[in-house]
Amino acid sequence: MKVGCVKEIKSHEYRVGITPSCAEAYIRHGHDVFIETRAGVNAGYTDEEYKAAGALIIDDKRKIFNECEMIVKVKEPLRQECELFHSGQILFTFLHLASNEVLTQELLRAGIKGVAYETIETENGQLPLLKPMSEIAGRLSIQEGAKFLEKPFGGRGVLLGGVPGVEKGKVAVLGAGVVGTNAVKMAYGLGAKVTVLDININRLEYLDDIFGGRIEALYSSRANIEKILAESDLLIGAVLIHGAKAPHLIKRDDLKNMKNGAVVVDVAVDQGGCVETSKPTTHDNPVFVIDDVVHYCVANMPGAVARTATQALTGVTLKYGLEIADKGLEKAARENNEIAAGINLYESKLTYRAVADDLGLEYTDLRKII
């Protein structure tokens, strides 16, 4: 198979979908790898390293789209990229379609086979390709939230860890999954007073246990959410429903109960956000203020730590990419339920039910067409 990787063009997206070592692995399996010029430079990988691995360096993105049977990316394609796909082409990347009907319709019209990193799912319900990015985003959420709590950035002027004789900053984390757990770890490590909320009692018991009762673990009831909103300096939105749009747990009216200069970091924004007032932002303009509450809603947070994030992401995507390239998508999906779960689009049909339900579009059972 001819496998292509293009330079990401989303604002301040520095990751790359294939590293030189990944390229070498595809080539060892008998595939041809096409890399766009300077595709990996922002993640620390030079064209010379790709050449040494055996990849072909192409300076024309359109040529890669025209010739390759599979395109491996990091983020969902932008409109100018959607025009370059051809029918039947495999796209292997993060898609996050549930919150983006325009993109979904464009890719359906293109007739591609879209395999979404975020919906590849194991038998025990784990999301192995989303996990490392969720770990990074969870940790970054505290790092970024702490920065924007500083007064020059519009925040309350609170140091999360405080100092002796001064009250610690208060952090609330909505969701105790991978993002939430990593946010709790970072906030606790900085010395903040941390509360985590979830509807899964088992997760709350787990976090209470590993932190030895030194954090507060609350059931995510409406009353508890209202309570922590009034108390918190920093709120982390870490809610995830597999492949579906995130629920709005924080409404516009709730903001008036928060402290002036409090910060919201909505990590769920690429799935629509769990705060009603959230909207996607970029690294060059990451925040906006509504009702005196600072909103940080960067939809590609891990792109800021491109080297770490690229290594973490490609470390888990490679085996699935190789299986697709080795067997073809249809055979790979028939033999591997995890890959089948990742197929959101198949030749102008929407094959992931949660996305279809959220967007009000027709759903097609993948098993009936492959």
**Can you say which residues are annotated as belonging to the binding site?**
15, 75, 134, 198, 203, 220, 239-240, 267-270, 298-301, 323
Return binding residues for Mg(2+).
323
Q: Which residues are catalytic?
A: 96, 270
Return binding residues for NAD(+).
134, 198, 203, 220, 239-240, 267-270, 298-301
SS3 labels along the chain:
CEEEECCCCCCCCCCCCCCHHHHHHHHHCCCEEEEECCCCHHHCCCHHHHHHHCCEEECCHHHHHHHCCEEECCCCCCHHHHCCCCCCCEEEECCCHHHCHHHHHHHHHHCCEEEEHHHCCCCCCCCCCCHHHHHHHHHHHHHHHHHHCCHHHCCCCCCCCCCCCCCCCEEEEECCCHHHHHHHHHHHHCCCEEEEEECCHHHHHHHHHHCCCCCEEEECCHHHHHHHHHHCCEEEECCCCCCCCCCCCECHHHHHHCCCCCEEEEHHHHHCCCECCCCCEECCECEEEECCEEEECECCHHHHHHHHHHHHHHHHHHHHHHHHHHHCHHHHHHHCHHHHHHEEEECCEECCHHHHHHHCCCCCCHHHCC
